[in-house]
Amino acid sequence: MAGQPSMPYSSSKTALNAITAHYAWELAGTAVKVNGAAPGHVATDFNGFRGRRTPEEGAEVAIRLATLDADGPTGQVFEDETRLAW
């Protein structure tokens, strides 16, 4: 993890992961896939552009998840091709 832990940031990330799992469960059996995309440490205003990844690199996981086929995963969180445990 880059930088120091932040209670508001960590709490909001946990809540986002939980709601991702909840919506995936609610929409099971439909064509809708609900996943989380972790872009990694992207250089943005939020971190003073100290991130190691470009916005384009960070966006790749979201684009991949947005274009999943019917057999794709749901209720998971991914960074690139890696499924993250939370």
Decide if 35 contacts 78 (C-beta within 8 A). Answer: yes
> Which residues have a Cβ under 8 Å from the Cβ of 11 and sit 6 or more positions away?
none
**How would you classify the pairing of strands 77-79 and 82-84?**
antiparallel
Q: Which of 2, 4, 5, 9 is catalytic?
A: 9
Tell me, yes or no, if 23 is annotated catalytic: no
Q: Please identify every residue annotated as catalytic.
A: 9
